[in-house]
Amino acid sequence: MISSTAAPIAIPLRDVIPWAIFAGLLCLIAIYFVGAEEGATSIIQGMYVHEWVHDGRHLLGFPCH
């Protein structure tokens, strides 16, 4: 009986870096909206974003009251 093993595929770093940067930027934007989009640092008028991320803000430990 012949045994075959699967060889791992090498993914070049130059293919991974753009996706890692994109994911990092998305995470930073999400952290901004959950943690800092309120009051003096708000870039969107009104309380719509605050109310939309309110529960997530408390879940992650950000104060808002």
SS3 content of the chain, % helix, strand, coil (to 5): 55, 0, 45
Asked if residue 34 lies in contact with residue 53, where contact means CB atoms within 8 angstroms, the answer is yes
pLDDT of residue 15: 92
The full set of domain ranges for the chain reads 38-65
Give the model confidence (pLDDT) of 1-59 as tens digits: 677 788 888 889 999 999 999 999 999 998 888 877 776 777 878 777 778 888 888 88
Place of tokens 């430990």: 61
